Chain A
């Protein structure tokens, strides 16, 4: 369980990092917290010839408020999402989601950008950012572009990132004061990859409901049927049918431990639990 030989670069400036990607193209992999990449390299499932380490790059980590938007640097550690006062206050769903990400040790090293760029179907941060309509800044030497989370996640482990691009920042609109959030997840053990998860945010008074389901399919799914039916008459009576319709639209994943059918069932349970918690 030792990785193949590789060349390691540790740039201090973003421009330098982008330049290295431009130079090495698909031979290069970015390393942030390394919590997914390093095990893959040790198993020789990933054999990058060049590693570009983002840990020393100036200005990629940290959380700041910019008007109605919270800007989160891609190298911000996952544990910071739990600890940071701005996140807890203004993006409470992300803080809630982060509680389900791995363990203290892995969260202390793992980053938000690394997790999003890895695009594991079970990623709690992918689910939360998708529901919140977060915007991701992708930079390369040639250009800077902004995509929404929904546009970013293409498939399991596949994103809109070009080999020459770096996800540098995640920006999320501040939640209205008094917004309530819920996050429900089922995994074999605490901290394991989710079998199914759901996240939701309810605006204060007559506010809108944002809700989605993760881990069931290859990418997080915003449950628009539930969102638009929310607040209408008979919502609660129809909820189970709405959930069933949402789940039926997902091509569920299966693996050695869990069938697609069971993922769907748990996805439905998670969605129902989120709604019930917010309406309680």
Chain B
């Protein structure tokens, strides 16, 4: 029988019994509450703001831009693509608002109810202006200008190229071109953003509990903008109810709430509500891609040309245009495409700013490419997998260079992609016949490959200590927002040290634990964070064995640690345990003063090398010809995670990401009207996959070892989502046009509503 992974993760008992500590669980003495006044207009001038009514109704403070000493300052920008025309939002709008949900004022009151009452009484005289609701409208010659610094409403533009795409395209015997729309979506964490700020005026020190993926970046910005030394700013994000990339940056609200706490000398809490969250937490996707591929009669791709238009919204936020950069850097997927030109234009509109959401540009790049490969296969009468095999990077091609604008030159240095594709088609039962089920629905399979670049952003830090009972405490610079870091890290530490996992306690999400770190995003937890813990634990083990060698008068090389006890390499027991060594190193102990205590820190630095992870997705879809409704009835992912640190965690990441991707393919969209009003205001409108829509996902693993990190792991947070849309849409394309090129173009629109599918069916 197949071995079942353990049901519960280390953190599950706490979560399932309601003992998590999320921001809203923080209750402090004298704490007051904030509500934001946000623009109801997509584009308007602010003629005046009158807060008198709110103050009379009991507001403790009403903050507007003029009240902020740091209003001329700016959030710290880690890196921006050089083409970005830099316009960050002000902390609060000064004279103009540029999207629905832009904050104009903060109201502080004794409780949240009163704060909302008072917020409604802040009287803002808006002079509405013409709004820009689409990229097309934004690029029109007479379009209203969003920023002076954005001529033609272009926020950034760049070209990524290799070889000579024009010449190769012209020379290609066959060419196909299509357009793809990826709607505006968002990460939608179950726990919205929120923070509690507690400023201590006696010490000029600040503690901020916040729901973030990047606590160190939040600390850096608070310190810089509020003028408090970094050591006196503590940022805590202990339990975070989901991030999905939408919390991987500092936000204005965190600075404002901290400022309010300092001003009022009281703790201040702000919990973003769902309406706010849909407006003010960064959005993502929003790509329009025109793609052309030149290939020969055998299906060998000679040239790839894309024009990508990204709807970046009203500002370029602190993450810059990273999704556009990632999409352009990975436009070729796992294939050998010698000539390409990727022409990217980031267009400003009166919508919420764009940033990352799980996959961060990789789903956006994979959707057009993988759908085109199916069209090429149909055009040539070849199996879809065969066209991919002919172009795939094979082990003999490694290392295969990948030039990225965001992480510099990298390479695919390991992996066996052809083996994964073969395994996926064999294990899934994939075939290209179209069948019918009892309900008369058409059944067809589709496949797609997705490349995930993991372990982004150079380093992470960790510290491992042993107490005199042999218990081990791990500090990590990561955060945990659903990944189960405690489960993974305790396993990594236990294995490296030679102790039982139950002996390990994990602490993370608190800047006080370690002097610096990064956080959890970009599928970096295992690649960067776990390797930091591993490095510290390995060093600690060496130190412990050196001490054991002294105590036992043996060569440390002949000793090992097993279940917390020192053993000889031949398996013979000794009288020593890890606890004995920890005690010997303490004052009055035998080794005190002769060696440092069992306390090791380690920084793992990737030197910006990305670790690539391929996944192959195979979807079986049932399509109703009468309604255009479709259902994913079977799903298989073949993934290469390298060494699997914890099977439950890996599988949870992939299955969860597939469900996320199914929602993104079928349901999720932030819909704006032609005045750039956001029409989506609740989870009754912003639809994500629920248990009924998410398929049962079968998983299969191929294991090759990356050389980028000592543990031999690849990141796994995003591979489950990257290729979902093209796998499903290729299956629909197969169901509707089984063996010839047809009107698939109508399907290349995400989310793909049944209504749109029905239109394609009616035309076919």
Contacts and interface: CB of A to CB of B under 8 A. Distances in A.
Interface stretch (B500-508, B550-558, B641-649, B674-682): B674-682
A188 B113 contact: no
Interface string A164-207: 00000000000000000000001011111100000000000000
Nearest to A270: B627
B116 interface: yes
Contacts of B758: 262, 265
Contacts of A1: 116, 273-275
* Residue of A3, A259, A265 most packed against chain B (CB within 10 A): A265
Nearest to B693: A189
A269 B685 contact: no
A59 interface: no
Contacts of B754: 262
B627 A256 contact: no
B interface, size bucket? 20 to 34
Contact of B755 (A189, A191, A262): A262
- Size class of the A contact interface (CB-based, 8 Å): 20 to 34
A262 B680 CA distance: 20
Contacts of A5: 113, 117
B753 interface: yes
A182 to B, nearest CB: 15
A233 interface: no
Contacts of A188: 667, 687
B629 A186 contact: yes
B684 interface: yes
A266 B753 CA distance: 14
A5 B689 CA distance: 35
A188 B628 CA distance: 12
B291 interface: no
* Most chain B CB atoms below 10 A, which of A5, A258, A262: A262
Report whether over half of chain A's contact residues are helix, strand or loop; otherwise say mixed.
Answer: loop
A266 B758 CA distance: 11
A2 interface: yes
Interface string B612-653: 000000000000001101000000000000000000000000
A44 B113 CA distance: 11
B495 interface: no
Nearest to A2: B113
Nearest to A42: B273
A231 interface: no
Contacts of B753: 257
A46 interface: no
Interface in A246-260: 256-259
Contacts of A4: 117
Interface in B717-742: none
A265 B679 contact: no
Given A5-B113, A189-B667, A258 B626 contact: no
Contacts of A157: none
A189 B685 CA distance: 11
B112 A269 contact: no
Contacts of B112: 2
A191 B112 CA distance: 31
Interface in A237-280: 256-259, 262, 265-266, 269
B5 interface: no
Nearest to B113: A2
B692 interface: yes
B110 interface: no
Contacts of A192: 684, 687
B680 A256 contact: yes
B755 A43 contact: no
A89 B120 CA distance: 52
Contacts of B690: 189-191
A253 to B, nearest CB: 14
A25 interface: no
Contacts of B117: 4-5
A43 B681 contact: yes
Contacts of B693: 189-190
Given A258-B755, A259-B755, A266-B627, A193 B113 contact: no
Interface in B672-716: 679-682, 684-685, 687, 689-690, 692-693
Of all A-B residue pairs in the complex, the 10 with the closest CB atoms, nearest first, are A190-B692, A1-B273, A262-B755, A2-B113, A256-B679, A2-B116, A269-B626, A2-B112, A256-B671, A189-B690
Given A43-B275, A188-B687, A256-B679, 5 more contacts: A5-B117, A189-B692, A191-B690, A265-B758, A269-B627
Interface of A: 1-5, 39, 43-44, 186, 188-193, 256-259, 262, 265-266, 269
18 contacts: A2-B113, A5-B113, A43-B682, A44-B116, A188-B687, A189-B667, A190-B692, A191-B692, A192-B684, A256-B671, A256-B680, A257-B687, A258-B755, A262-B755, A265-B627, A265-B758, A266-B627, A269-B627
